[in-house]
């Protein structure tokens, strides 16, 4: 078995990255602005949300400036696990309790988001290894299986394109008993997707500036002034697409998002027949319904990538970092438990990124101050949702009536409840998951002995 002990020097054999394992940093940075610029709309942040917003506004004839602190795609957009999913964050039963009347609208929004982003990949011809396999919220215990069956029913009644499936028949790895099959979406390389969007952006009429951190956004009688190190941008309107980093800006509504650090690990390549021997004959992404999910997916590099389980948060501004040793070691333990026949397979790489969680578990869009809008906080589901949300906001700013899917997540007032996410609550959720895993292991062992 591969050594999972973490001694502060990193898990043996794993190379830790402070960026992403999916793509290399570009070397051809867009310029930094100098002096005074004017435009119709300034977009702050160049992740999926900001790039999609800017591209759509430019298509609609607006004069757009995009300002990105690093390079476009630098944040979660290049780092994520690559599940293009039609799911909302949060357990469906909880969502049904919190949003009984709104759930069909929210489900329609999430479903449309997956289809929109799939079409966007095709329309821009982005080569990002997209495989339309769908994804499965897959149970590892009979208790979880009952919960996923009930959740499939809740989602279907709300109009979601999902189905309850059994593991053996469906081609899931043997430890997974079945779950909710989300038919829309699939798996892709998010780094290639983000850099493909960046190529489209740099080729468009959008004036893009990189290595340009916005320091202040100030509404004035005649528009909005955006301050950066080298000068100022005078815009009629501004879109904040700063996601987990929104706390850095005073104009962003207080408590809008809680940044949560999420980690991923990738193995060495595995012979295809060994993968098939685990029962994973259908190359769907697998996500568990634990309080804090685990995810496992095959990659086009012949490796397995897995993540989450243990989350970190911060009270201050999110700073760039590498995953913690303890988190990587814990993820590896999870991998060994779910794939016992692959314990000899070595982990090779680890990286992570900040996601933006909201207290409502829903993405948020609205007007933070006069002429300052935001499209933020997809709660770890932004691969499908962020480009869609940005595009819907762009259409609204270009003069369209507010689309019903934008209305589904629109905030009429920029007021946000305090988050329950803190180091103690995240640790408690992790502990509950491990206790339930242990309980299931013991039951399985005693039924095997009988
Ligand atoms: C490890 C990990 C795994 C994930 N897995 C999945 C998954 O499988 N499926 C899924 O749907 N989602 C997943 N997500 C979430 C997904 O990546 C995000 O929801 C999505 O990328 C959000 O896009 P965004 O444009 O809103 O934010 P980001 O990509 O974070 O972009 C925000 C950008 O704003 C810039 N910025 C911030 N402040 C300023 C400023 N003051 N001035 C200028 N620029 C600024 C940042 O530099 C950054 O580039 C995952 C995220 C992580 C980190």
Residue 223 within any structural domain of the chain? yes
Alpha carbon separation from 383 to 117, 191, 302 (Å, rounded): 8, 11, 22
In tens, the pLDDT along 77-135 reads 999 999 999 999 999 999 999 999 999 999 999 999 999 999 999 999 999 999 999 99
For the chain, how many residues are written?
450
pLDDT-derived band at 9 (thresholds 50, 70, 90) equals: low
Distance CA 396, CA 57 (A): 10
DSSP 399: T
Ligand 1 midpoint to CA 315 (Å): 18
pLDDT-derived band at 406 (thresholds 50, 70, 90) equals: very high
The finding on whether 358 has its CB within 6 A of some atom of ligand 1 is no
Within its chain, how far is the Cα of 169 from the centroid?
A: 29
Q: Count up the domains in the chain and report the number.
A: 1
Contacts 24+ apart (CB under 8 A), 424-427: 426/260, 426/292, 426/310, 426/311, 426/312, 426/313
> If you take atom 51 of ligand 1, which residue's CA is the nearest one?
80
In tens, the pLDDT along 336-363 reads 999 999 999 999 999 999 999 999 999 9
Give the torsion through C-alpha atoms of 178, 104, 403, 242, to 10 deg.
Answer: -50
The finding on whether 214 has its CB within 6 A of some atom of ligand 1 is yes
Residue 7 within any structural domain of the chain? no
Residue 93 within any structural domain of the chain? yes
Distance CA 166, CA 345 (A): 27
Q: What is the pTM of this model?
A: 0.96
Residue 4 within any structural domain of the chain? no
The finding on whether 289 has its CB within 6 A of some atom of ligand 1 is no
> If you take atom 36 of ligand 1, which residue's CA is the nearest one?
45
| pLDDT computed for residue 184 by the predictor | 95
The finding on whether 355 has its CB within 6 A of some atom of ligand 1 is yes
pLDDT-derived band at 6 (thresholds 50, 70, 90) equals: very low
* Beta carbons within 8 Å of 200's beta carbon, 6+ residues apart: 51, 55, 124, 126
Residue 279 within any structural domain of the chain? yes
**11: Cα within 13 Å, side-chain hemisphere:** 28
pLDDT of residue 397 exceeding 90, the answer is yes
Containing structural domain, residue 79:
15-424
Q: Between 421 and 266, whose confidence is greater?
A: 266
Alpha carbon separation from 331 to 141, 162, 174, 260, 422 (Å, rounded): 18, 28, 19, 17, 20
Q: Is 17 left (phi over 0), alpha (psi -120 to 50) or beta?
A: beta
The finding on whether 224 has its CB within 6 A of some atom of ligand 1 is no
Domain containing residue 60: CATH number: 3.50.50.60
Q: Which of 117, 243, 327, 377 to mutate to test the pocket of ligand 1 (most atoms within 8 A of CB)?
A: 243
Ligand 1 midpoint to CA 356 (Å): 8
Distance CA 92, CA 51 (A): 30
Residue 450 within any structural domain of the chain? no
The finding on whether 110 has its CB within 6 A of some atom of ligand 1 is no
In tens, the pLDDT along 196-245 reads 999 999 999 999 999 999 999 999 988 999 999 989 999 999 999 999 99
Residue 435 within any structural domain of the chain? no
Residue 439 within any structural domain of the chain? no
Q: Which of 55, 65, 77 to mutate to test the pocket of ligand 1 (most atoms within 8 A of CB)?
A: 77
Q: What mean pLDDT do residues 410-438 have?
A: 92
């Amino acid at each position: 078995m591969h050594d999972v002990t973490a001694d502060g020097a990193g898990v043996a054999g794993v190379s830790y990255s402070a960026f992403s394992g999916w793509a290399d940093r570009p070397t051809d940075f867009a310029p930094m602005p100098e002096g005074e610029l004017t435009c119709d709309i300034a977009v702050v942040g160049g992740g999926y949300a900001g790039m999609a917003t800017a591209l759509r506004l430019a298509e609609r004839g607006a004069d757009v400036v995009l300002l990105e602190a690093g390079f476009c795609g630098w944040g979660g957009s290049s780092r994520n696990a690559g599940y293009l999913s039609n799911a909302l964050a949060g357990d469906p039963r909880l969502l049904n309790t919190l949003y009984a009347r709104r759930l069909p609208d929210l489900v329609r929004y999430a479903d449309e988001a997956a289809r929109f982003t799939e079409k966007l990949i095709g329309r821009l011809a982005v080569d990002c290894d997209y495989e339309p396999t769908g994804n499965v919220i897959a149970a590892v215990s009979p208790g979880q299986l009952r919960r996923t069956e009930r959740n499939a029913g809740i989602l279907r009644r709300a109009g979601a394109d999902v189905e309850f499936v059994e593991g053996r028949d469906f081609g899931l790895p043997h430890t997974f008993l079945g779950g909710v099959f989300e038919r829309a979406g699939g798996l892709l390389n998010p780094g290639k997707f983000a850099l493909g969007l960046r190529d489209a952006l740099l080729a468009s009429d959008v004036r893009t500036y990189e290595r340009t951190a916005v320091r202040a956004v100030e509404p004035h009688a005649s528009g909005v002034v955006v301050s950066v190190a080298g000068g100022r941008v005078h815009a009629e309107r501004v879109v904040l697409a700063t996601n987990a980093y929104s706390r850095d800006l005073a104009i962003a509504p207080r408590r809008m998002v809680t940044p949560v650090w999420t980690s991923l690990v990738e193995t060495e390549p595995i012979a295809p027949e060994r993968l098939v021997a685990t029962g994973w004959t259908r190359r769907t992404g697998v996500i568990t319904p634990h309080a804090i999910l685990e995810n496992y997916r095959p990659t086009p590099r012949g490796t397995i990538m897995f993540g989450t389980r243990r989350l970190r948060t911060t009270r201050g501004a999110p700073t760039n970092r590498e995953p913690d040793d303890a988190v990587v070691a814990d993820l590896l333990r999870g991998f060994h438990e779910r794939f016992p026949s692959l314990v000899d397979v070595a982990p090779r790489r680890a990286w992570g990124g900040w996601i933006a969680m909201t207290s409502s578990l829903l993405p948020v869009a609205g007007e933070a101050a006069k002429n300052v809008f935001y499209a933020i906080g997809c709660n770890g589901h932004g691969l499908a949702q962020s480009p869609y949300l940005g595009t819907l906001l762009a259409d609204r700013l270009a003069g369209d009536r507010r689309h019903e899917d934008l209305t589904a997540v629109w905030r009429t007032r920029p007021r946000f409840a305090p988050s329950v996410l803190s180091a103690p609550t995240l640790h408690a959720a992790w502990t509950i998951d491990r206790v339930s895993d242990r309980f299931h292991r013991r039951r399985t062992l005693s039924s095997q002995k009988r």
